[in-house]
Structure 1
Amino acid sequence: MVIITVVLFALFLLIMLAILDFKLGRKKHLAEVEHDVFPKRKSNISLFTDGGTLFKHMYDDLREAKEHIHALFYIVREDHISKEFLSILKEKAEEGLEVRLLMDWGGSFKFKKETVQQLKGSGVEVYFCHPPKFPHLFYSINERNHRKITVIDGKIGYVGGYNVGKEYVGQDSKMGVWRDYHLKVTGEGVKDLQFQFLQDWKDDTGIDLRENNQYYPPLTPGEITHQFIPTNGAFLTETFVSLIKKAKKQIIIATPYFIPSDELIKELFNALNRGVKVSVLVPQKEDHLLLRDAGFNYFPALMQAGATIYRFYYGFYHAKVMVIDEEICDIGTANFDKRSLFLNHEINCLIYDSEFVQCVLHEIQEDMHNSEVLTPDYLKKRSFLAKGKQRVAKILSPLL
């Protein structure tokens, strides 16, 4: 009995220390974080919703690089898809190009030290983002760099939801088809992706290359007006709220994880009350414990207020998209969840071009065609286990 009491006390103490660590870490984070917003730019933008097609184009562009390659990913696996990616980086570095690779410490935790040494041996500069550090160890473990940015010669940029690995081309038998949205950018906006990469490079290496003109070649304006919005665990709520408030007819939110803040859920109800049609598109499958079930803490009330919830069943849905009134769309790395809102470092692209938005809507309509509409009857029939996971997810939502 004494042993059990000691163990329970130790567990309680550990939980209290973790909560204190998290709160102090968050307070320090908010005191230091800056609200960075890039200006509106004009670029040419292509949309990719298939991993195989994306990687073919990206790898071809990487092979054509002449001066430098900068790549940042939350996850880089060690499989045949990532092997090709890493081989290209090594080949270009051996040709004399500057090649820099950032990977998130948490997302790419399983990346082998031997592979890092091989990359460095070929001349690739490799660093991991946000390794855990004192004094706020627990908080720093949770504060991840979730951005996915690739910049080639300062002239071509890629940004969006895809990481590097076989599941992202639909070759994971558990996940099946992987549905995601990623952008290729040429034109003025590339300078902002370049600056953001170099900002992250400085944060994680201490090396400041942001003002080096060799990384900012002259760029010709494109046809599409857009704006990159980087967020560092703060200010994303304000961006999403601003978009929701603009809506007069329709809001579509596509996200793998639906765990909004109180402010966001309030604005969605406000939109519904003023007659705006609200649609939420989420996956039927889960790739992380509790994340799928967390959405059910919000779905019933939204449905009762008039929202439609679609659950994508044709594989796994990982896209991060918001469309407002067929006029504005937001595509990027941020999920509609509290981790992206309050912890992760993200980057989103607001696109102000009705023709491009129509292309996005065409893809979303295909996604909805491969989805089922959530019904009140389904909610009633959910299992005891599923409802239990939902309750646990509610408690842990700040970390989800």
Structure 2
Amino acid sequence: MKWVLILGGLVLLIIIWLVIDFRLGRKKHLSVADSKETPILHGEFEIFTHGKELFHDYFSTIRGAKRHIHVLFYIVKDDAISQEFFALLKEKAREGIEVRLLLDRLGSWKIKKQVVAALREAGIQFAFSNRIKLPFPFYSAQVRNHRKISIIDGEIGYLGGYNIGKEYIDGDPLLSPWRDYHVRITGESVNFLQSIFLIDWNEYAGEELMGRPVYFPKLPKGVVRHRFIATEAGQLEENFIRLIRNAEHSILIGTPYFIPSAAIFTELLAVRRRGVSVTVIVPFTADHLLVQEASFRYLRRLLAAGAAVYQYKKGFYHAKTIVIDDKVCDIGTANFDRRSLFLNKEINCYIYDPALIERVKAVIEKDILDSEPLSLAELNKPNIGRSMKEGIAAAVSNFL
């Protein structure tokens, strides 16, 4: 009994420490967090939905770089495509091209010291972002740099859901084919992507480069009206709420993880009550423990309110998009979950061009055809194992 009490006391102390760590860490983060957004900009967009096509284009663009390559990823693994990526960056650095690579420390945990040393030896300037650090190690371990952006010569930008690893090019049999949305951007707005990279680079590499004109060439305008919003530490929630409130006819959400905040979910139910159609696409197969079970309590209530929910079955669905009334389309790095809403650094692109929105909708309609509708009856079937998982998921949903 004595040892049970001691063990129980230790567990209680750990829980208290975790709570204090998280709350104080979040308070400090909120005091320094700063969202950044643009006015309406004009550019040209190309959409990629398959990894092999994206990386063929992406690697080709890197090979053609003449001045500088700036890359920020959440995940880069130590597998064949990752090694091909590193080899390409080394080749460019040895040519005398400036290469800067910023990777999230936990997202890219497979990148070992030897790999980093080899990159630096080749002339690549490398840094990890969002390391676990004192005095709030638990909170800092939760805050990830989830932005996935690349800027080539200050003229071409990439943004979206793809990271670098074999699963993203259909190399993981459990998650293939991988379905995602990523965009290639040219035009004046590439300057903003460049500024976000340099801000993050300064924070984590300690090198201020924002004032250098070489990174910000004068760029032409394109035809696609859009704007960017870069967020962290809770700044994304209000943007999503504003999108949902403005809906008049339809809302379409595509996400691998549907774990909304209470405020966002309240707004979704409210617009559904006033007759706005709500459609949600999620994966049939989960890639992380409990994320699917965490979504069920929300999907159950949406279905009861008359929303449509589809589970994508032709591989794994990792796309992040919101389409409102065919008037605005959000494509970016943020999932529709609490981690993206309240913890991660994210960047989203809001598109207002009818022709491009129609192209995105055609992609989404194809994804719906490759999905099966989820029914309320199916979710309400007695299932003790699923119910237990849902209870656990609800308790830890902020960290999934």
Deviation (angstroms), 1:81: 1.1
The C-alpha deviation readout for 1:315-373, integer Å capped at 9, x for no partner, is 11100000011111000000000000000000000000111001001010111111111
How large is the RMSD of aligned CA atoms in angstroms? 0.9
What secondary structure, in the 3-state scheme, does the structure 1 residue paired with 2:44 have?
Answer: strand
The separation in 1 between residues aligned to 2:382 and 2:215, in whole angstroms, is 54
Query: What is the one-letter code of the residue matched to 1:316?
Result: F
Question: Which has the larger displacement, 177-186 or 11-20?
Answer: 11-20
2:274 matches 1:274: yes
Preserved contact between residue 33 and residue 234 of structure 1 (Cα < 8 Å): no
**Where does residue 221 of structure 1 map in the other structure?**
221
The separation in 1 between residues aligned to 2:196 and 2:35, in whole angstroms, is 13
**Where does residue 393 of structure 1 map in the other structure?**
393
The separation in 1 between residues aligned to 2:34 and 2:69, in whole angstroms, is 27
Unaligned runs of 5+ residues in structure 1 are: none
Preserved contact between residue 179 and residue 318 of structure 1 (Cα < 8 Å): yes
Unaligned runs of 5+ residues in structure 2 are: none
The separation in 1 between residues aligned to 2:92 and 2:85, in whole angstroms, is 11
**Where does residue 136 of structure 1 map in the other structure?**
136
Question: Which has the larger displacement, 248-257 or 110-119?
Answer: 110-119
The C-alpha deviation readout for 1:237-282, integer Å capped at 9, x for no partner, is 1111111112111100000001101110011011111111000100
Deviation (angstroms), 1:6: 1.4
The separation in 1 between residues aligned to 2:154 and 2:105, in whole angstroms, is 25
Preserved contact between residue 21 and residue 139 of structure 2 (Cα < 8 Å): yes
Preserved contact between residue 69 and residue 151 of structure 1 (Cα < 8 Å): yes
The C-alpha deviation readout for 1:265-318, integer Å capped at 9, x for no partner, is 011011111111000100011111111110001111111111111111111110
The separation in 1 between residues aligned to 2:179 and 2:129, in whole angstroms, is 26
Preserved contact between residue 177 and residue 315 of structure 1 (Cα < 8 Å): yes
What secondary structure, in the 3-state scheme, does the structure 2 residue paired with 1:280 have?
Answer: strand
Scaled by the length of structure 2, what TM-score is found? 0.99
**Where does residue 123 of structure 1 map in the other structure?**
123
Which residues of 2 match residues 169-184 of structure 1 at below 5 A?
Answer: 169-184=169-184
**How many residues are matched?**
400
**Where does residue 102 of structure 1 map in the other structure?**
102
The separation in 2 between residues aligned to 1:83 and 1:204, in whole angstroms, is 24
**Where does residue 356 of structure 1 map in the other structure?**
356
Preserved contact between residue 105 and residue 128 of structure 1 (Cα < 8 Å): yes
Deviation (angstroms), 1:382: 5.4
- Runs of 4+ displaced beyond 4 Å: none
Which residues of 2 match residues 1-400 of structure 1 at below 5 A?
Answer: 1-381=1-381, 383-400=383-400
Preserved contact between residue 35 and residue 229 of structure 2 (Cα < 8 Å): no
Deviation (angstroms), 1:29: 1.1
Deviation (angstroms), 1:381: 2.4
Scaled by the length of structure 1, what TM-score is found? 0.99
What secondary structure, in the 3-state scheme, does the structure 2 residue paired with 1:174 have?
Answer: helix
The C-alpha deviation readout for 1:193-228, integer Å capped at 9, x for no partner, is 000000100110111111211101110101101101
Query: What is the one-letter code of the residue matched to 1:338?
Result: R
The separation in 2 between residues aligned to 1:173 and 1:132, in whole angstroms, is 32
The separation in 2 between residues aligned to 1:73 and 1:274, in whole angstroms, is 40
Preserved contact between residue 293 and residue 386 of structure 2 (Cα < 8 Å): yes
Query: What is the one-letter code of the residue matched to 2:355?
Result: E
Deviation (angstroms), 1:192: 0.5
Deviation (angstroms), 1:383: 2.4
Query: What is the one-letter code of the residue matched to 1:267?
Result: E
Preserved contact between residue 187 and residue 219 of structure 1 (Cα < 8 Å): yes
The separation in 1 between residues aligned to 2:28 and 2:112, in whole angstroms, is 32
The separation in 1 between residues aligned to 2:300 and 2:149, in whole angstroms, is 36
Query: What is the one-letter code of the residue matched to 1:388?
Result: M
Preserved contact between residue 76 and residue 165 of structure 1 (Cα < 8 Å): yes
Deviation (angstroms), 1:103: 0.5
Deviation (angstroms), 1:110: 1.4
